[in-house]
Amino acid sequence: MRPPTGIGAVLSALTLLSVGTGATPTPPHSRFGRGGDVIRGVNLGGLFVLEPWITPSLFKQWDSNNPYVVDEWTYCGALGKDECHRRLTAHWGAWVTEADIRELASYGLNHVRIPIGYWAFTVKDDEPYVQGQVPFLERVLGWVGKYGLNAVIDLHGVPGSQNGFDNSGHRGDVGWQWAQENIDRSLAAVDAIAGIAQKHRDVVDAIELVNEPANWGLSMDGVLDYYKTAYTRFRRIAPSTIMVIHDAFLSPAQWPMFNVAGWENVILDTHNYHVFVKDRLLMSRRQHLEATCQDAVHVRDFNTQLWTITGEWSLAVTDCARWLNGFGRGARWDGSMDWEMHGPAVPGATCAGQNSMSSWDQPTRIFFRQFAEAQMDAYEAGSGWFFWNFKTEDADDWNYMKLAKAGLVPSPPTDRVYSRYSLVPDRWNIKPSARPQAPPPGPVESAAPIRGVSLGGLFVLEPWITPSLFEPWAAQPESPVVDEWSYCVALGKLECGARLARHWGDWVQETDVATLAGLGINTLRIPIGYWALAPDASEPYVQGQIPYLEQVLVWAGHYGMRVVLDLHGAPGSQNGFDNSGRRGDISWSKRASDLPRTLDALAMLAQIANRHRAVVAIQAVNEPANWGVPKATVVQFYQQAYDRVKTIAPQVAVVFHDAFLPAAEWADLVPQNMTDTILDTHIYHVFDDNTLALTAEAHASKACADGQQIAQFNQQTRTICGEFSLATTDCARWLNGFQRGARWDGTHLRTTPIAPGLSCDGKESIGAWTQGKRAALRRFAMAQLEAYERGTGWIFWNFKTESADAWNYIKLAQAGIIPNPPVGRSFGVCPR
């Protein structure tokens, strides 16, 4: 159960990035017994640890006359050991039956989590608890194995109570760490559970060391010490059993403390309820769904460090289940429990019918099915989930079996109607490449120049690169959807997150990286927006990019490639282009928070760089526009960015764009005290009338002249052409912005084309190009590659596109228009 304190507002993805180099998940094929890569399970709560709200019939005799009886400790204290043992023996034999396990298996589940208290293994004379649970536990394990499931045994209560909740066995003080004896007895219980796990090792694949230790009542150093000691002890008894540790209700920003160096086969367990904190309790139904999809970010990101499961969740959106907050206590929802609002959650709120399926109307039933699927999707972004609970006596929104029978949770769990995320495991798991690990890439200053491509359109949408994403608005006059900001505004975070998760998983594949390596590419430049790294909940952007980014970095490492991480969009927009995330005004640096947030985003990239040796450089910001951002501001920011990145990741170079300034002013951007820098200039031939009007030979000549400027400045500071293409027209659909035409044919903000009679027909399709056109473009490619290698190298924009072939490196190289290998120094097109 989640306590009446917790996270509150949904935390952003950036809080998960400060992860250490500790435990590493085992390859997915050896994960979770019969469950494979994803745990889909339920808790057998209320069996060996009593909770009044799960089985109120056991406590009803004290409903009005003895508030002292509130948990298993006081239950046995009131009855005496003989009567308590008699009643609980009957309960242990009846609450979970073989028929229950058979039914759970029929729903397509693969796991059960079995809570049990320490007193089943060690009881002192002055404690009221009774024993006898172990034979019933082993009987359940026999059924679990019989029906093809696996089990996690969960030490749900420890001496002194780890959280003060009734689910620890003893409601009240958090006294677990008050005496070393309590810790020792907890470890003894873990030893006993490990012995059972080893005996039933074909069924029990994990042990949870303690359920829900409360960080507000415990020393976290003490909790970690307990985890470390238990890890060593029980591994001697059950060496192949996975260890599960609870997050102690800490925020995701603090989860890295659990990533302990040297650990293997460890799961982090987090519990996610929507009823115990004000922020969640007051949500609308749509907000519950949106918050759930954002929760996916946390488990998905940390799952790359430790397997991360959501070990408890339910469909409850009110705390109206009788005694849910404790025996004799009311609910926040209707104000019958004293809490921070001192009244109902919303005016007129009532608990009548909230937990009874027979009272739910059709819209409520549809919502619960959507809520179930959303949570399953979200938690499978990590390593899976356990629903709380398999059944209850009264609270239907906590009763998986009843919900499954009514079709309010999918059976099997993969049979989803409203699913927003993919069920394909590759969407979520960073998997090793099929190719053996290549040697680490050389530094930027190694003998081979940078020969790279940008992975544009992956984490920053541009309508012209992936027009299919924007096609729904193509026919709408003056569409408000023109960039990633407005894309997410139009769809809402729920749908935007779903569509972009599919896109992130599809746009760059390992086969793309392998193909590029085979074409002689040695560097990938990966554009990403600030919103993936330093988000603001008030903005429409969604998060979840980081696992996909790290997957690409893994592939890059396997194929021996360098990577430049490029901060492509900054808060407020640094250039007003759609490639900054938001088309329109140039507002970057005008708000006090803009530059600090940009620096925070760079700090996150630096932390990622520390985890991936393929990363050799970080670009401070892409294309800050000197006409909208003063040069002095850019220079000041570059100095701060250099210091921030180098403090965290001293091994990477820092890349500065030239802010579209002429070469005579480049030196102003790179102070001499910054020694590990690269200047990036972007050279296109399609965004002004003069270059558009050039002949084929003049395009090649201009490239050679640009190379001379690069070569000259490269003597002072390493200089690359960080973006260029083979386009000699701006005819790519929406290249100048969504629904905007081209200068070439006069459809973009003008009445006449560049020259009379010009048309864009066929300009962007290799299939329509004549042999003469192909030969001219090959010479243009050779000129650019040769020219830019007079500096430190080049990065082509883009690795691929949906339709604009002059911007599609893979297609151009496979057609022989770009030479393979692209060794520009050998072409001899440009005069020396």
pLDDT tens-digit readout, 22-50? 443 333 334 555 545 799 999 999 999 99
Of 23-37, 112-126, 459-473, the poorest mean pLDDT is in 23-37
Q: How far is CA 678 from CA 152, 157, 179, 421, 748, in A?
A: 52, 57, 58, 39, 35
List the catalytic residue out of 72, 290, 312, 786: 312
Sequential DSSP letters for 75-129: HHHHH-HHHHHHHHHHHHHHSS-HHHHHHHHHTT--EEEEEEEGGGT---TT---
Contact partners, residue 202, CB within 8 Å, separation at least 6: 145
Q: Is pLDDT at 5 greater than 60 in this prediction?
A: no
pLDDT at 439 over 70: no
The set of residues, in sequence order, having a beta carbon less than 8 Å from that of 295 and lying 6+ positions away, is 10, 272, 378, 379
**Would you place residue 151 in the very low, low, confident or very high pLDDT band (cuts 50, 70, 90)?**
very high
Q: Are the C-beta atoms of residues 455 and 524 closer than 8 Å to each other?
A: yes
Backbone φ/ψ region at 394: left (φ over 0), alpha (ψ -120 to 50), beta: alpha
CA 283 to CA 289: how far, in whole Å?
9
Least confident segment among 340-354, 371-385, 411-425, 735-749: 411-425
pLDDT for the residue numbered 224: 97
pLDDT of residue 24: 39
- What one-letter code names the amino acid at 230? A
Which pLDDT value is given to residue 750? 62
- Model pLDDT, residue 471: 96
The percent of residues in the chain predicted with pLDDT above 70, rounded, is 91
pLDDT tens column, 670-687: 987 888 999 999 999 999
Q: What is the pLDDT of residue 30?
A: 41
Are β-strands 677-682 and 450-454 bridged in parallel, bridged antiparallel, or unpaired?
unpaired
pLDDT digits (tens, 9 = 90+) for 567-576: 999 999 999 9
Q: What's the mean pLDDT in 254-278?
A: 94
678-725 pLDDT tens trace: 999 999 999 999 999 999 999 999 999 999 999 999 999 999 999 999
Q: pLDDT per residue over 618-666, tens digit each?
A: 999 999 999 999 999 999 999 999 999 999 999 999 999 999 999 999 9
pLDDT at 17: 22
Helix (H) or strand (E) segment spanning residue 42: strand 39-43
Phi, psi of 244 (to 5 degrees): -110, 130
Give the other-Cβ count within 10 Å of 585's Cβ.
11
pLDDT band at 206; cut points 50, 70, 90: very high
- Three-state DSSP state, 453: strand
pLDDT tens track for 282-293: 999 888 988 888
Read off the pLDDT band of 444 (50, 70, 90).
Answer: low
Determine contact, residues 121/193, Cβ cutoff 8 Å: yes
Q: Residue 128 CB: number of other CB atoms within 10 A?
A: 18
Q: How far apart are CA 191 and CA 184, in angstroms?
A: 10
Pairwise CA distance, residues 113 & 41, whole Å: 7
827 pLDDT tier (thresholds 50, 70, 90): confident
484 belongs to the catalytic site: no
CB 734 within 8 A of CB 467: yes
| Alpha-helical segments (H) within 277-419 | 278-281, 285-302, 362-379, 400-405
Q: Say whether the peptide bond before residue 412 is cis (omega within 30 degrees of 0).
A: yes
What's the CA gap between 415 and 422, in Å, rounded? 12
Would you call 312 a catalytic residue per the annotation? yes
Could you give the CA distance from residue 518 to residue 516 in angstroms, rounded to a whole number? 5
Q: Which residues pair with 270 in a beta bridge?
A: 310
pLDDT tens across 479-518, in order?
999 999 999 999 998 888 889 988 998 999 999 999 999 9
Q: Are 46 and 392 in contact (CB under 8 A)?
A: yes
State the pLDDT at residue 307: 92
How many alpha carbons fall within 13 Å on the CB side of residue 631?
Answer: 11
Question: Angle between the 180-199 and 220-237 helix axes, to the nearest 10 degrees?
Answer: 30
Residue 410 vs residues 102, 171, 405, 469, 499: alpha-carbon distances, Å: 17, 35, 9, 29, 22
Region 507-531: what's the mean pLDDT?
Answer: 96
User: For 811-820, b where at least 16 C-beta lie within 10 A, e where not — what string?
Assistant: bbbebebbbe
Confidence of residue 432 (pLDDT cuts 50, 70, 90): very low
For residue 395, is it left (φ>0), alpha (ψ between -120 and 50) or beta? Answer: beta
Coil, strand or helix at 571: coil
Domains of the chain: 13-427 (3.20.20.80), 450-826 (3.20.20.80)
Q: Which of 72, 208, 212, 462 is catalytic?
A: 212
**Cis (ω within 30 of 0) for the bond into 215?**
no
How many angstroms separate the CA atoms of 784 and 804, rounded?
A: 19
Please give the pLDDT value at position 661.
96
Q: How far apart are alpha carbons 606 and 646 in whole angstroms?
A: 8
Find where tokens 């009679």 sit.
757
Cβ-based neighbours of 591, under 8 Å, separated by 6 or more = 571, 572
